[in-house]
Amino acid sequence: MDRFADRRFGEFDAEPVHDRLDWDIFHYRNELLFSPLFHAVSPPLIRWIADDRGRVLSREICSDLFARHFSADMMGHGWRALLEPPDWRALADAARGSERPHPVQVRMRCPSGEGRWGIVRMALVTEPGEAPLWYGTIEDIDDRHDHDRRALADALAESRQHYRWSVQLSPQVPWTAAPDGAIEEVGPRWRDLTGSSPGSARGTGWIASLHPEDAGRTLDLWAERLRTGDPIDVDYRLRLSDGSYRWMRARASARRDEEGRIVRWYGTLEDVHAQKLVQRELAESEERFRLAIQSARLGIWDFDGVAGTRTWSREFRAMLGLSDTEPATSELALRLVHPEDRHQLAQMLEAVAADQLPPHFEATLRVYRADTGALRWIKSIGWSSFSESGRPLRVIVTFQDVTEERNSEERIRWAATHDPMTSMPNRALWQATLEEMTEHARQSGERFGLLLVDIDDLKRTNDMLGHDAGDALLCGFARRFAACAPADATVGRLGGDEFGMIAPSLADSDALAAWSAELLGGVRGPYVHNGRSLDCSISIGGAVFGEHGDQATELLKAADLALYASKAAGRGRLTLFHSQLRADAQQRSSMINMARQAIADDLVVPYYQPKVDLRTGRILGYEALLRWEHPRTGVHAPDSIAAAFDNADIAVQLTEKMMAAVVRDVRRWLRAGHDPGRVAINASAADFMQHDFAGYVLAHLARCGIPPRHFEVEVTETVFLGRGTDQVEQALHRLSAAGVRIALDDFGTGYASLSHLKQYPVDVLKIDKSFISNIEQDAGDAVIVDAIGKLGGSLGMEVVAEGVEQLGQIDMLLARGCLVGQGYLFGRPQAWATICSQAA
């Protein structure tokens, strides 16, 4: 502030001017006390008085600006709402430390949620006979504080951004080193290159990333430059994060002080891998070209445009079957070329004669060898060099016999569109043909028939007799299928045991049915492989273009649904598409979606049906039966999601949900002091194929502290007959050895033989309820039950009768050696909580 300003403002403290009127003096003194204009020029301020407990007794807002920013009531302890908690603790510490503490900088809250900086000044005043009081002010300094802070922050941010963009966007890696060569800093791209942190390169850590063959040379040169202080420029290979190596160029220069001593080394690491490869390629190109000519047996045709001479290399003459003495003439070349390709060679020769040959050209011609007459495919590639006037100076043409390559391409094209086993068109070619026929039929209004054929039980043939037998059956059927097909039909193997046929002559349902009947009869004859007769039956699904769809995908889907219906209805038959099949497919899809939802939302719950001692009525254990509980529609039986059990992945997930719930319930039973006996859970073939089922079960029991003697695994006979029987056998033996009992469910209804009872560790035979329901009326059922009971007793197995619903059945079962029963007579499946409440 200048001296004039000092004098001007200093007049406020001077004595009143005697030559002024008294009313002026009083007027301006009042302006000093009450004029609102001072609020616009004074800093925002609050004056306050507080007691020694920190309660504000009085406050005055001395600035409109302060009132505009802060509306909180400071009275009492309300001032705390104005400040951040660390700041009121700082004020308390200041007050405890001094009666006139230094000003405290605080952060004040605005009603908008923003903060503003302020300074609190205060002093403790003690009057005789009066309680001590704190007098203080809060001054808003945000504008001044933020201006300085923002200016500094902006400068710092700009500096950081400048450095970051300069370093991170640079393709080079900057680095610095101490005078002794120890690396001090490395740019962030070191991590991108090597996968290790820049800190790992400090000191001598960077040496570990060098290629072993380059390390010695690099370190020797670096040591020599450290001694002399001269700049260094060296190439070496650096190990990348994936373990590969890449050529890098390291350059550095030393910065010296005023006395010439090295202060620090500054360097960069640059990726020069591409340049290295180019240099290597250039160095090796001539050698490669020379070796390529020799090893590839290329023929050379050399035309000297200046001298007008033609030269044929020895390899080219041998390729054409010519002797070394045969003159190299255009007439001879034209005579050897296939008539359909001569025009191409004639055009090339004319272009040479007219000086109009392009710089580079290629052609593939068919040539008859002069000595044997054999037809060969010859590929020619030519290069031309020209004078400044555009006249050809030299033409070099290489020739290569590509006959075998062409034949291989033909074989590859054929293999890409045909099934190698049956030589039939594969799915790609067959479906492309279907799309072409569909487009043609839409334009012409014609119709055609489509059939999908599936060989029944091919998997069983593979499993029982081996894949050689299965392949023989496939090939035999393919031959009969193709022989039976109409002359205008396109047949193909679509994959696995599925075949397809498209035939314009089968343009309606009657024609499809008649031809299918002929095919069904034609394939029933036996197929002989290694002296063994193989049976073959097929299922067929059919659809007609225009009647069941007018798009290739729609028609194929219709035939696929019909084929699925044939297989589900008992196989060995034809099913033509009808609308109900689509509805059935939608129902199956809905079942699968419901099953997925039940798994995702954890809606699967086990219901338990008791197994009872028929002599005493005592409950020996339970079978856990799958149910799922919809939050709105209640509990559903498994048949509501039956289609999901055909999906191996979903079936395994359902078993896992059941396993978790059953183990949880058994643990709750045991903790409550109740012995549930043995609780059985059903396992499918998919459970044994998807993972280590035995390990999964035993680990689950161990994790929950359940003795294996309380657990039982039920399997059906189909588990013994599918693929992976060795895996099933190992899993069952492992479970049995651990104390888990194995039950064979639905015994007597499947294909299992007595040898399976010897091969697998079966502890329980469960008689299917179809034999129990009519045991009192059907003597045949009684005989079967009697036989199973005696068989189980002879083998030391427990025999359980399923589906017991009548009291009279109990006596008949006991008389036939069946001591355990399960069925509605003893109780329907119920939830765990219901069983517990009944027991209580």
In this predicted structure, which of 20-29, 220-229, 595-604, 607-616 has the lowest mean pLDDT?
20-29
- Token digits of residue 297: 């047996």
Give the confidence band of 69 by pLDDT, cuts at 50, 70, 90: low
Residue 150: its pLDDT value, please? 63
What is 577-636 written as a DSSP string?
--HHHHHHHHHHHHHHHHHHHHHHTT-EEEEEEEEEETTT--EEEEEEEEEEEETTTEEE
In this predicted structure, which of 75-79, 295-299, 472-476 has the lowest mean pLDDT?
295-299
- Token digits of residue 649: 């992945």
Cα-Cα end-to-end distance for the chain: 97
- Residue 13 pLDDT greater than 50, yes or no: no
- Residue 135 pLDDT greater than 70, yes or no: yes
The arithmetic mean of pLDDT across residues 593-615, rounded, is: 92
Which residues lie closer than 8 Å to 46 by C-beta, 6 or more apart?
59, 60, 61, 62, 66, 70, 74, 137, 138
The arithmetic mean of pLDDT across residues 398-421, rounded, is: 85
Give the confidence band of 12 by pLDDT, cuts at 50, 70, 90: very low
Pairing of strands 741-747, 711-716: parallel
Residue 434: its pLDDT value, please? 94
Across the chain, mean pLDDT equals 83
Residue 59: its pLDDT value, please? 83
The arithmetic mean of pLDDT across residues 712-720, rounded, is: 86
What is 477-499 written as a DSSP string?
HHHHHHHHS-TT-EEEEEETTEE
- Residue 111 pLDDT greater than 80, yes or no: no
Q: Which residues of 297-322 are buried (b: 16+ CB within 10 A; e: fewer)?
A: ebbebebebeeeebebbebbbbbbbb
Q: Could you report the per-residue pLDDT of 811-827, keeping only the tens digit for each?
A: 999 999 899 999 999 98
Give the confidence band of 18 by pLDDT, cuts at 50, 70, 90: very low
76 DSSP assignment: B
Rounded-to-integer distance, Cα 553 and Cα 434, Å: 9
- Residue 164 pLDDT greater than 60, yes or no: no
In this predicted structure, which of 19-28, 104-113, 214-223, 340-349 has the lowest mean pLDDT?
19-28
Residue 202: its pLDDT value, please? 92
Beta pairing partners, 798? 764
Residue 15: its pLDDT value, please? 43
Residue 295: its pLDDT value, please? 67
Q: How many other CB atoms sit within 10 Å of the CB of residue 489? A: 19
Q: Could you report the per-residue pLDDT of 456-485, keeping only the tens digit for each?
A: 878 777 777 788 888 888 888 899 899 889
Nearest-CA neighbor of 802 among 754, 765, 758? 765
In this predicted structure, which of 131-145, 411-425, 653-667, 754-768 has the lowest mean pLDDT?
131-145
Residue 720 vs residue 543, higher pLDDT: 543
Beta carbons of 197 and 183 less than 8 angstroms apart:
no
Rounded-to-integer distance, Cα 836 and Cα 830, Å: 10
Rounded-to-integer distance, Cα 575 and Cα 104, Å: 92
Give the confidence band of 528 by pLDDT, cuts at 50, 70, 90: confident
- Residue 171 pLDDT greater than 80, yes or no: no
- Residue 157 pLDDT greater than 90, yes or no: no
Residue 489: its pLDDT value, please? 92
Q: Could you report the per-residue pLDDT of 172-186, keeping only the tens digit for each?
A: 889 999 999 999 999
Rounded-to-integer distance, Cα 287 and Cα 365, Å: 29
The CA-based diameter of the chain, rounded to the nearest angstrom, is 145
Residue 755: its pLDDT value, please? 73
Domains assigned to the chain: 7-35 (no CATH), 39-139 (3.30.450.20), 170-277 (3.30.450.20), 296-407 (3.30.450.20), 418-577 (3.30.70.270), 595-839 (3.20.20.450)
Q: What percent of the chain has pLDDT over 90?
A: 32
Residue 491: its pLDDT value, please? 93
The arithmetic mean of pLDDT across residues 564-592, rounded, is: 82
Question: For the chain, what is the radius of gyration of the CA atoms?
Answer: 48
- Residue 684 pLDDT greater than 90, yes or no: no
The arithmetic mean of pLDDT across residues 408-425, rounded, is: 88
- Residue 765 pLDDT greater than 70, yes or no: yes
Q: Which amino acid is at 203?
A: G
Beta carbons of 563 and 452 less than 8 angstroms apart:
yes
Beta carbons of 581 and 549 less than 8 angstroms apart:
no
Residue 739 vs residue 32, higher pLDDT: 739
Nearest-CA neighbor of 209 among 183, 232, 233? 183
Rounded-to-integer distance, Cα 820 and Cα 107, Å: 82
Residue 286: its pLDDT value, please? 55
